[in-house]
């Protein structure tokens, strides 16, 4: 069985190869190591290999890990659904939030972000497949939400995040990736601080990178399979 170090190296290489195949600039896509449910020791091991950015899905777990590993100076990204009554710990302890989807959450995060910290870096999650059970702002609402975020002092808009539909329908996937790329390009021309398209996971990595992704989120391929867990 491959070791954690071997799995991390393979995932890292996979991203670089996909970037090359897409004929994009080397190092233009960042690997976010999704460590949800995984123990602190695994994060320390991957951090020791040079990985700086880690993604978490559950608020309490994310905050605990960020606090315990504060001495390592890692960047903590929250990529799970944000409940409006749980914004404060996230505002106080995360570096990035990928899943801002409405005005109320954006306002609260800015109010609750301690002013002495660097502004919280945020992406707007877009429900690009328009699936009713999925989180995210509708594409038509992105422009207004982005404009609001630009006015808030303690959060900084960095871009967009999407989870495309889980389907084998290539035409549908291509349509969703293209739609995200277009939305991202529009936002980038409007705001200088926008530079991040958080899109792509293990199975759709190449597709996402072909369509302008700048950050791919990989969990299982690095840390191994997760135990089933109830979301909190």
Question: Which positions touch ligand PLP (CB under 6 A)?
Answer: 34, 36, 57, 79, 163, 201-202, 217-221
Q: How far is the CB of 66 from ligand PLP (least distance, A)?
A: 17
76 or 152: whose CB is closer to ligand PLP? 76
Residue 166 burial by CB count (10 A; 0-12/13-18/19+): exposed, middle or buried? exposed
136 or 212: whose CB is closer to ligand PLP? 136
Helices (H), 51-141: 59-68, 87-93, 103-112
Which element (helix H / strand E) includes 177? helix 170-190
Q: Which residue has the closest beta carbon to ligand PLP?
A: 219
Q: How far is the CB of 41 from ligand PLP (least distance, A)?
A: 18
- Non-local (6+) Cβ contacts of 63 within 8 A are 89, 90, 92, 93, 94
Q: How far is the CB of 221 from ligand PLP (least distance, A)?
A: 6
- Provide the 10 A C-beta neighbour count for residue 63: 20
79 or 149: whose CB is closer to ligand PLP? 79
74 or 205: whose CB is closer to ligand PLP? 205
Q: How far is the CB of 111 from ligand PLP (least distance, A)?
A: 25
Which element (helix H / strand E) includes 30? strand 30-34
């Amino acid at each position: 069985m491959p070791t954690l170090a071997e799995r991390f190296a393979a995932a890292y290489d996979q991203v670089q190869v996909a970037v090359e195949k897409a004929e994009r600039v080397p190092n233009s896509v960042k690997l976010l190591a999704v460590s949800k449910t995984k123990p602190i020791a695994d994060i320390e091991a991957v951090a020791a290999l040079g990985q700086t950015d880690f993604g978490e899905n559950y608020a309490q777990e994310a905050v605990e890990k960020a606090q315990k590993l504060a001495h390592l100076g890692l960047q903590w990204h929250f990529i799970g659904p944000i409940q409006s009554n749980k914004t404060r710990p996230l505002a106080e302890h995360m570096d990035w939030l990928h899943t801002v989807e409405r005005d109320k959450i954006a306002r609260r995060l800015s109010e609750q972000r301690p002013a002495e910290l660097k502004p919280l870096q945020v992406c707007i999650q877009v429900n690009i497949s328009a699936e009713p059970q999925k989180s995210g702002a509708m594409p038509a609402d992105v422009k207004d939400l982005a404009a609001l975020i630009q006015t808030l002092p303690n959060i900084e808009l960095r871009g967009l995040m999407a989870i495309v539909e889980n389907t084998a329908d290539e035409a549908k996937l291509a349509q969703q990736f293209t739609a995200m790329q277009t939305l991202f390009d529009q936002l980038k021309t409007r705001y200088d601080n926008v530079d991040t398209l958080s899109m792509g996971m293990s199975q759709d990595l190449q597709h996402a990178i072909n369509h302008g992704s700048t950050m791919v989120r990989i969990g299982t391929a690095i840390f191994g399979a997760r135990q089933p867990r109830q979301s909190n």
